[in-house]
Amino acid sequence: MLEVKNLNYSYGNILVVKDVNLYINEGEIVTLIGANGAGKTTTLRTISGLTDASGVKGEIIFNGKNIQKMPGNKITSLGLCQVLEGRHIFSKLTVRENLLVGAYTRKDMDNVKKELEEIYTLFPRLRERMEQLGGTLSGGEQQMLAIGRALLGKPKLLLLDEPSLGLAPLVIREIFEAIVRIRNTGMTIMFVEQNSKIALETADRGYVVQNGQIVMEDTCKNLASNEEVKKAYLGED
């Protein structure tokens, strides 16, 4: 579904992403792990068309189409949607209104209504707070809302940037269980995550990013048992 070849991104004279190669098969969950500032988020934003295209070199192939020079809104219309770090919900819109923003470009409103119900089933707290303003929700509820909003855009590939950021452990578990349930509906998912333990428990395959480069890739089972990964990212000696 996605193939990234020799991707480089420069911010001015600073090379932030260096010769990144990765792929995602349909129906997979793939994670990028690494220390803060390793270049994970920039890699994700570059794939989504959210960085300055003039600084991008390499190829980004999505469903057979090179999207490397496309603006973010065009990429989204092809079915690649990103949930940004920090949620970015509309604080003065209700939960329901926030969700419907995700379906802004859709014409099939009967299907939208059905999928809205599916999102309320996935995240029951959003149903309870349907008419509540987005800005009054907890961090975990806002993350659920941001994911639900993205799902209403009917993505083929869902990108998530730091879904656990700033959340309590119980809420983190709830979010990641929902990610697995979303994949079980047929969705393909890639996420960036600093909580390497839960990332490797959730995803099928993983890439380790260091100083803008991929230094390791494997199944998550193998990465979780790798001594170097355990010491550097899982807090195990």
The 10s digit of each residue's pLDDT in 104-143 is 878 888 899 999 999 999 999 999 999 999 999 999 999 9
Residue 128, pLDDT score: 97
Q: How many residues does the chain have?
A: 237
108 in a structural domain: no
* Residue 179 pLDDT level (bands cut at 50, 70, 90): very high
- Compute the average pLDDT of residues 184-210: 96
Q: Looking at the 3D structure of the chain, how many domains does it have?
A: 1
Q: Please work out, in degrees rounded to the nearest 5, the angle formed at the alpha carbon of residue 42 by the alpha carbons of 161 and 185.
A: 35
114 in a structural domain: no
Q: Are the C-beta atoms of 144 and 152 separated by less than 8 Å?
A: no
59 in a structural domain: yes
Q: Is the pLDDT of residue 237 over 60?
A: no
pTM: 0.92
Pairing state between β 205-210 and 80-83: unpaired
143 in a structural domain: no
Q: CATH number, domain at 26?
A: 3.40.50.300
**Taking all residues of the chain, what is their mean pLDDT, rounded to a whole number?**
94
- Structural domain including 179 reads 2-88+155-233
Own/partner pairs for 85-91, CB < 8 Å, 24+ apart? Answer: 85/41, 85/161, 85/162, 85/165, 85/192, 86/165, 87/139, 87/142, 87/143, 87/145, 87/146, 88/146, 89/134, 89/135, 89/137, 89/142, 89/145, 89/146, 89/149, 90/134, 91/133, 91/134, 91/135
180 in a structural domain: yes
- Compute the average pLDDT of residues 43-69: 94
* Residue 236 pLDDT level (bands cut at 50, 70, 90): low
165 in a structural domain: yes
160 in a structural domain: yes
Q: Is the pLDDT of residue 86 over 90?
A: no
198 in a structural domain: yes
* Residue 66 pLDDT level (bands cut at 50, 70, 90): very high
Q: Is the pLDDT of residue 87 over 70?
A: yes
Q: Are the C-beta atoms of 164 and 176 separated by less than 8 Å?
A: yes
- Compute the average pLDDT of residues 69-98: 93
Phi and psi dihedrals of 196, rounded to 5? -65, -30
- Compute the average pLDDT of residues 11-26: 95
- Compute the average pLDDT of residues 79-104: 93
